[in-house]
Structure 1
Amino acid sequence: MKAQNKGLNTICTHVGELEDKQHSGAISPLYMSTSYAYEDVDVKRYPRYFNTPNQEGLCKKIAALEHTEAALIFGSGMAAVSTALMAFLKAGDHVVLQQTLYGGTYNLVNEEFSKYGIEYSFTEGWKAEAFEAQIKENTKVIYIETPSNPLLTITDLKAVATIAKKHGLVTMIDNTFASPVNQNPIDFGIDIVIHSATKYMGGHSDICAGAVASTADNMERIFNLAKNFGGSLSDYTVWLLERSMKTMGIRVRAQNENALAMANFLQENKDIERVYYPGLPTHEDHEIAKKQMKGFGGMLSFELNSSLDASLFQKSLKLIKSSMSLAGVESTVLSPTKTSHALMSAEVRAEQGIADGLIRFSVGIEEPEDLIQDILQALAAIKNKA
């Protein structure tokens, strides 16, 4: 049976696993060598060429999960983002990027692209027509992120893909917040899928990695640059990531359920001003999310009433950790203005709607009742101090 015909958890568990021919162990063996034979071999292996046994196995798993022909695993999400973009852009080219982007991606473009003579435009919003309005004669790439970080905006994948194909452009998506469990952009016409594998693929807050998946031709083009940039991943981390991905389907689906429960609770709480979660019927893009997502994800954001101190609230939590990054099995919160989007100017954050009091909530796998009680006690604590 082909990989694409297997169930999600079967793919997570078995596709790309390496056979232990020596001891018949149940898991993939770990090949730590950085030096391999080159005479009389079928594959000349070298870690920087992304073709060690563990790298190859993991890439097959990621490709199967994203319904693509091939994939590459990188040392970080930003290594994946930068390599994919630079593989399709050169001096004189232009790229259209979604306004609501992860701060690290925004900073990469804003700080580095002009040095290479690459032009760029950010959309005014995240609707499909906003992308078409920015297309120029020298545009080569459209780059999107949905759900977006940190406001969970939803971009219509099919609509953007249709616009791109009409103009002969390559589309790329940061699919990190959704994960392959909840969204497969290739099925809607997007060309290249990017992940911070640190997040839901790793899932335990102990791995830093990135991934790119697409057609064999596109991945060959990305590989040709990647081998020069040198953003490969150690085989021990590759092995740990392959281990972690076996439970990704189970973890993410539990996080989906918990996040929806938390979003409903927060929306009904009088101390919360606004909740951003695509699974809520009140979300502006809820209907689009229903069409292209299998689950609404484990990420949400919310704003406290202006009379409450967001920083003090986070410090008052006892179970939920105030911590950077996201998507671990443990629930965490952070202030985007101080972390993920700190490199953006206050003006740009304001344009995107990222308020100083915004709290991003990465919902874990704990019982939602325990998370609710923690939030209630934190709210009570800060109101007593006010």
Structure 2
Amino acid sequence: MTSITKSQNQIRLTADPHKPLSPAIYPTSVFLFENTAELIDFVEAKSPDRFEYARYGNPTRRAMEYVLAELEGAEDAVLCASGMAACTMPVLALLQSGDHLIFTSDSYLKTRTFIEKTLPAFGIATTIVEPDIQAVEAAIRPETKLVFTEMPTNPLYRVIDLEGLTSLCRKRGLISMIDSTLASPVNLNPIRHGADLVVHSMTKYFAGQNDLIAGGVAGRKDLVSQVRDRIGELGAILPAQECYRLYMSTKTMQLRVERQNSTTLALAEYLEGHARIRKVYHPMLASNVDAEQARRYLRGGGCLFTIDIDGGFDQMRAFCDATKVFRIGPSFGSPESLLDPPVIMSHWNVAPEQRAAMGITDSMVRISVGLEDVNELKADLDQALQKAF
């Protein structure tokens, strides 16, 4: 990963002739032209670095797009309104009726819902497979166009052989797209391992404060250009003020993520030996089914891990209700530590047999680790587990 501070210093010195320490905010919907000759030059150039209407681009947004591209080692990047927009806009931009998409099974539920329930209305076929190369290869059809996976996956932290996947996609003429939200550019750069596109919910590590919603797509310039057009057509844009706040928060992302890496792993290792815990899911644990791949590709495990409490639904609820430092809520990547019981938070309306097939149990809790002291967090988890029984 390119140093975050270095990349932002380089961008701000080249993107604005006045060389401000922070990017300017352009709170305008319209950019003017001096004459028709200038307008014709703009239309013919088709450059994302020139602007006419804020739905298609804004200098503040463009500054942050350069930072995202630099951090991911990408040819270009585009920002959008949310992480869901980052996942859906490339699919809607690059696929059409008659195409086929392959997606891996352990995933953010809303992304899977979009793929399974929304895409068929567009005439796009989908196949859900386990996150391994053999399963992906077996699912390829003549009409397959895109392979989409999270890395690591959510909430069980599977780690696919990324270079094996991207090599397979190149060999078969497919687009590879990686949702790297759980890793962040601090821990993983999929494009450097051959991926065509990487998407992020920038709400998480980039923003880092639980105070804004944003998404981003980085990768090959030709693909990003198509995604940019679709974002403009559908209006899934990120306003200039939000882009500015995202830019400023990104300056501390590396420090935050590195601290969360170490604290989270320490808590996961502690709870793995706890008498009240049936299983701990964390990408860097030796017990993880994909531990070898995790060590190969990830520089750190991030701020998330999942526990399966040695009990049932009632013990899980009692544990969550007994914590004092941890609060109950969705999302991750913020300074505050959070608990997310997926059987309630995200999968409440999913049939029990479907939840079981997804690996979601009634006693499971996804834990997002913030920036608090590791010993304080450990003590809080321990006392809550004692009270749960």
- Which category of TM-score, normalised to the shorter sequence, fits these structures? over 0.9
Preserved CA contact (<8 Å) 1:103 1:343: no
**Runs of 4+ off more than 6 Å:** 18-22
Q: Distance in 1 between matches of 2:344 and 2:69?
A: 34
Identity %: 32
Q: 2:34 aligns with which of 33, 39, 43?
A: 39
Q: Deviations over 1:157-204 (max 9, x none)?
A: 111111111211001111000001100001111111000011111111
Q: Distance in 2 between matches of 1:211 and 1:52?
A: 15
Q: 1:261 aligns with which of 256, 261, 266?
A: 266
Matched, 1:375 2:376: no
Q: 1:21-36 to 2 correspondence within 5 Å? A: 26-36=21-31
Q: Distance in 1 between matches of 2:4 and 2:295?
A: 19
Q: Distance in 1 between matches of 2:251 and 2:366?
A: 27
Matched, 1:278 2:273: no
Structure 1 range deviating more: 338-347 or 312-321 = 338-347
Matched, 1:68 2:74: yes
- Structure 2 partner of 1:238: 243
TM-score by length of structure 2 reads 0.92
Q: Deviations over 1:274-320 (max 9, x none)?
A: 00001111211111111111112111101111156111211111111
Q: CA deviation at 1:347?
A: 2.8
Structure 1 range deviating more: 361-370 or 338-347 = 338-347
- Structure 2 partner of 1:360: 366
SS of 1:211 mapped into structure 2: strand
Preserved CA contact (<8 Å) 2:12 2:21: no
Preserved CA contact (<8 Å) 2:281 2:307: yes
Q: Which amino acid aligns with 1:225?
A: R
- Structure 2 partner of 1:326: 332
Q: 1:335 aligns with which of 341, 352, 356?
A: 341
SS of 1:302 mapped into structure 2: strand
- Structure 1 partner of 2:152: 147
Q: 1:1-386 to 2 correspondence within 5 Å? A: 7-11=3-7, 13-17=8-12, 26-40=21-35, 43-49=50-56, 51-123=57-129, 125-306=130-311, 309-342=315-348, 344-383=350-389
Provide structure 2 residue ranges, at least 5 long, that are not aligned to the other structure: 43-49
Preserved CA contact (<8 Å) 1:8 1:249: yes
Q: Distance in 1 between matches of 2:16 and 2:137?
A: 51
SS of 2:339 mapped into structure 1: strand
Q: Report the RMSD for the aligned CA atoms in angstroms.
A: 1.8
Q: CA deviation at 1:83?
A: 0.5
Give the direction of change, closer, same or farther, for the CA distance of 1:221–1:353 in structure 2 (3 Å limit): same
Provide structure 1 residue ranges, at least 5 long, that are not aligned to the other structure: none
Q: CA deviation at 1:21?
A: 6.5
Q: Distance in 2 between matches of 1:159 and 1:102?
A: 23
SS of 1:17 mapped into structure 2: helix
SS of 2:307 mapped into structure 1: strand
Q: Which amino acid aligns with 2:274?
A: N
SS of 1:261 mapped into structure 2: helix
Q: Which amino acid aligns with 1:87?
A: A
Q: Distance in 2 between matches of 1:300 and 1:382?
A: 19
TM-score by length of structure 1 reads 0.93
Q: Deviations over 1:318-375 (max 9, x none)?
A: 1111111111111111111222344644333211211121100111111110001111
Q: Distance in 2 between matches of 1:254 and 1:116?
A: 43
Q: Which amino acid aligns with 1:14?
A: N
Aligned length: 375
Q: Distance in 1 between matches of 2:231 and 2:215?
A: 12
Q: Distance in 1 between matches of 2:28 and 2:291?
A: 48
